[in-house]
Amino acid sequence: MAGLDFWQTIGTTSADVEHLYALILERGAPVASRELATHLIEWRVREEERRIAESAARGAPLYQPKQSYAVGQHLLFSVFDDREGEIVHVRAGENARYGNFKVIAVQFDGEAGVREFAADYPATHPLNQDPAPLLESLSGAEQAVIEHGDAVTARLIQRLSGEKEFVRIEEGWYLRGLLPQIHDGHLNLAEAAIEQANDAQSTAELLKIMDLPPTAKKNASVYALNLALASDTRFDEVGPSNEPRWYLTRLELPESRERPAILQAAPARALTLPDELETVAAELHDETDTNGNGNHPAAPRDEVTLVLTYPHRRAGTLPMTPAVRALVPAFTRPRLKITLVDSIMGGKLIAFAVNDGQYIAGMANWFAAHKLAPGAYVTLKRTADPLTLHLEYQPQRERSLWVRVARGLNGKLTFAQERRPVAHKYDEDMLILVNDPPSIDAVAQSLRDQRLGALLEEIFPELAKLSGAGRVHAKTLYSAVNLVRRAGPRTVLGALTESRAITSVGGGYFVLSEDARR
């Protein structure tokens, strides 16, 4: 259809759908939405250029309602695929709402009756638009793709989603009729194979055990199986981007499917910290505080060392900071199944990197087996297998040390310095042992509505009494707050800087202000 609305029609017509059907049928492979849109734009531009050239060669003008016409004149009608008709009668229009206009009666070959159209009608109408701007805009299909590609892609997705002949998964659009049938027996075989391997399986591995028709193309079989597995709640895609790997939902760790409540944190406020505290925040490797980096991976590295915090110790998880995310392949699904190898004991752990919440689940038993306390150093290391990481802590000869011990007492968080056995290296500012987690949970429940600033001012004297100088490091306060409330470093450090009761003395240390001591 000629006119300035030409671009808005691309991706909406039955002819477009039929053309794309033929394209996919010819290729025999899935085609991405953007590629379909690009191809369709280029095809429509060529067709419109051909139509305009053929119309010009035929000599008859293109019908436009604003023009005046006479009996015996021949016109081309774009709404009827440029069919040619002869004007056999002209009369005055009879609708007062539209002012003065004419009505032309047109006879088309092969039709007994005539069709009537408006003439001398200058009001706004798509067919009244000057085709010259369209001819100019058709001058380059490549530029047309740049200008209109996004809009056409969006319209195509909407249109094809309603067409039963088309199916869509991550690889793109395909034709349902080209897919081999995947029935319940095939899916039962897939379930048994995954369970026997006790590991995620690629689509190609699962196809090896299925008796599909030998005439089925490989990519069609892959497409069909991915579609069937994605539609069955028994299976979950847990592979890297563009590399589907399938696992059984019932075998997944509960904490990988639903973020543990103890990891839920309020969004961090946007604030500027003193340079010294910005450094402290960066050292704490907290997944809730990326300072604008979102979940984008950091520069590749071979290993990352983290300090275990109480919330992650209780949840059996580790934070998936940008640095940690850079150790695993990119993934867009909710979960990525990985294997963690205990570098010291040699065992393997089933683990999941979780997009929603930015954490890695699966270390609860490992933490307990090595008796790791909040404050312990934990290291993840890359291996030759992208889906396998080494997991290690830093063991040392067990000895009895004076350490901070937290308790819940009458709804309050208290601290004492006690001798306890420790068999691993740790961050001295972060180390806090907890003997009775339920008592800490009770305190967390009683303090859930307390302002963070008030919570800091309440626990600060408890920690300060354990120091001869009355000083408490910012990291210690962060570790203590996270016993009873999940809060990121920038949130805690921001509350510290805003408190009138607590004063910085440099080096990351704080003391009670003079007014608070009185």
Q: What is the pLDDT of residue 18?
A: 95
At residue 186, φ and ψ (nearest 5 deg) are -65, -45
Q: Is the Cβ–Cβ distance between 506 and 471 less than 8 Å? A: no
Asked if the model's pLDDT at residue 518 lies above 60, the reply is: no
The residue behind tokens 């520069």 is: 299
DSSP-H helix ranges across 236-325: 254-257, 275-283, 310-315, 322-325
Asked if the model's pLDDT at residue 239 lies above 50, the reply is: yes
pLDDT average, residue stretch 80-92: 88
Strand, coil or helix: 80: helix
> For the whole model, what pTM was predicted?
0.76
Closest by Cα among 516, 392, 394, 417 to 476: 417
The beta-strand segments (E) located in 376-428 are 377-382, 388-393, 395-409, 412-424
What angle, 0 to 180 degrees and rounded to 10, lies between the N-to-C axes of helices 14-27 and 141-161?
100
Higher pLDDT, 273 or 292: 273
Question: For 162-175, what is each residue's pLDDT tens digit?
Answer: 999 999 876 789 89
Question: For 126-158, what is each residue's pLDDT tens digit?
Answer: 777 665 444 444 455 677 788 888 999 999 999
505's enclosing H/E stretch is strand 502-506
Q: CA angle, corner 55, sides to 66 and 135, nearest 5?
A: 75
Closest by Cα among 84, 76, 19, 75 to 47: 19
- Beta carbons within 10 angstroms of residue 491's beta carbon: 24
Asked if the model's pLDDT at residue 250 lies above 60, the reply is: yes
Share of the chain above pLDDT 70, in %: 94
Q: What is the pLDDT of residue 304?
A: 96
At residue 174, φ and ψ (nearest 5 deg) are -140, 170
pLDDT average, residue stretch 70-97: 87
